[in-house]
């Protein structure tokens, strides 16, 4: 009979405790120990004080990292890989920032590196990308990849709540962090898009090249204007394979009610891939939360215990972001007209305006300059 996988769990926070509960209930997995500054009531496994104890223990074959952040997570994960231990993590910040190094380290040491929970929460998104990319070229990725912002936008549309009230509700329900900046400004979704695009296209994108606009400047008056346009606002991440490079960007988008993304409620995600032959496939589910995230961590552990090795891809081709071919009309709300906007405006609304078709780099470049004198201005593309 095969011995159960022996796991060291780094972190016993919200997600970590969910992982602890799942492991305890699964006979194929054994929790050798945990390392955490805070130990919740009811935890019975051994608690260790330092990573070296785990790295030196040859009976531990897998490290699950759910402490988050860059440091000391980076030192812990690279140490585990070099010690020939599999790593399962939900840390999107770490994976996006050190993608090439971590994938290479796992390959050099003959161990698995899995991070399905880092993009999609409880959705089996990265494993779906892995399977599809092994079969045929993936040409596009798009969708809602952040539960916090979707909850806020959905609440504002449905109830007429202000941005501040919708954010407060999200925090009370545990959908938003005490400091939600990375969700609201799009940084969280950018990391997910980078990881997803790298796996889908076999490349390595520089996160800094991905144009990103969040929802922190949206107002109730904007939502009312969208309703008059018969549109629903969602924060959309998108990338596509180009002949030379990748287009990749995140921005609020105004969707017709007939589009599937328009109907996604509360903290749910809807992410789609387009294959060269299979066309578009979509994946729906909760994008965050203790048990959805812990579920994918558990699934990664089980996959590794059943023989899944390495990362989702071994292709690490250099690629640059080029959004110049993506052109759309935009809703723009500013405090006053300027020369660029005057030349681009197509329609003046009772609140805001609609531009002519412009490229993604052009309008985001303008927005960056405009924010210096009009920090509350807001844009959203028309789909």
Domain definitions of the chain by residue range: 5-125+291-318, 325-383
Which pLDDT score is estimated for 1?
57
192 is catalytic: yes
Which pLDDT score is estimated for 229?
97
Report whether pLDDT(382) > 70.
Answer: yes
Which pLDDT score is estimated for 132?
97
pLDDT for 269-308, tens place per residue? 999 999 999 999 999 998 878 899 999 999 999 999 999 9
DSSP state of 324: T
| Residue from 154, 378, 163 nearest 287 by CA | 154
Report whether pLDDT(343) > 70.
Answer: yes
Report whether pLDDT(344) > 60.
Answer: yes
Share of the chain above pLDDT 90, in %: 94
The Cα–Cα gap between 192 and 207 comes to: 10
pLDDT for 194-239, tens place per residue? 999 999 999 999 999 999 999 999 999 999 999 999 999 999 999 9
pTM, whole model, 2 decimals?
0.97
Catalytic residue among 85, 92, 192, 344: 192
pLDDT for 169-196, tens place per residue? 999 988 888 899 999 999 999 999 999 9
Q: Are strands 268-275 and 279-286 parallel, antiparallel or unpaired?
A: antiparallel
Beta bridge partners of residue 144, listed in sequence order: 270
Q: What is the CATH number of domain 5-125+291-318?
A: 3.40.50.720
The encoded tokens of residue 222 equal 């904007």
3-state secondary structure 262-299: HHCCCCEEEEEEEECCCEEEEEEEECCCHHHHHHHHHH
């Amino acid at each position: 009979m095969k011995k159960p996988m022996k796991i060291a769990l780094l972190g016993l926070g919200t997600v970590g405790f969910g992982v602890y509960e799942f492991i305890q209930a699964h006979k194929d997995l054994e929790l050798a120990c945990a390392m955490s500054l805070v130990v919740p009531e009811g935890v019975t496994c051994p608690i260790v004080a330092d990573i070296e104890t785990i790295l030196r223990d040859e009976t531990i074959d897998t490290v699950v990292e759910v402490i988050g952040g860059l440091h000391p997570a980076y030192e812990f994960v690279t140490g585990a890989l070099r010690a020939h231990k599999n790593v399962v993590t939900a840390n999107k910040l770490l994976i996006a920032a050190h993608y090439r190094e971590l994938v290479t380290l796992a390959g050099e040491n003959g161990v698995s590196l899995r991070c399905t929970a880092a993009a999609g929460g409880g959705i089996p998104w990265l494993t779906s990308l892995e399977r599809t990319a092994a079969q045929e070229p993936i040409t596009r990725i798009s969708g809602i990849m952040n539960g916090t912002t979707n909850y806020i936008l959905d609440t504002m549309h449905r109830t007429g709540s202000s941005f501040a009230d919708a954010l407060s509700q999200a925090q009370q329900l545990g959908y938003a962090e005490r400091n939600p900046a990375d969700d609201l400004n799009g940084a969280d979704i950018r990391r997910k898009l980078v990881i997803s695009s790298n796996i889908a296209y076999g490349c390595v994108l520089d996160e800094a090249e991905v144009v990103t606009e969040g929802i922190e400047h949206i107002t109730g008056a904007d939502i009312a204007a969208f309703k008059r346009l018969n549109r629903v606002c969602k924060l959309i991440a998108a990338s596509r394979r180009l002949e030379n490079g990748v287009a990749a960007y995140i921005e609020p988008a105004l969707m017709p009610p007939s589009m599937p993304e328009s109907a996604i409620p509360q903290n749910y995600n809807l992410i789609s891939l387009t294959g060269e032959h299979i066309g578009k496939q979509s994946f729906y589910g909760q994008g965050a939360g203790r048990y959805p995230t812990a579920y994918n961590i558990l699934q990664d552990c089980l996959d590794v215990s059943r023989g899944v090795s390495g990362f989702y891809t071994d292709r690490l081709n250099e690629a640059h972001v080029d959004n110049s071919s993506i052109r759309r009309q935009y809703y723009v709300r500013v405090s006053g007209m300027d020369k660029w906007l005057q030349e681009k405006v197509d329609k003046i609304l009772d609140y805001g305006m609609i531009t002519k078709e412009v490229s993604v780099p052009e309008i985001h470049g303008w927005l960056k300059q405009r924010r210096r004198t009009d920090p509350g201005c807001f844009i959203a593309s028309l789909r």
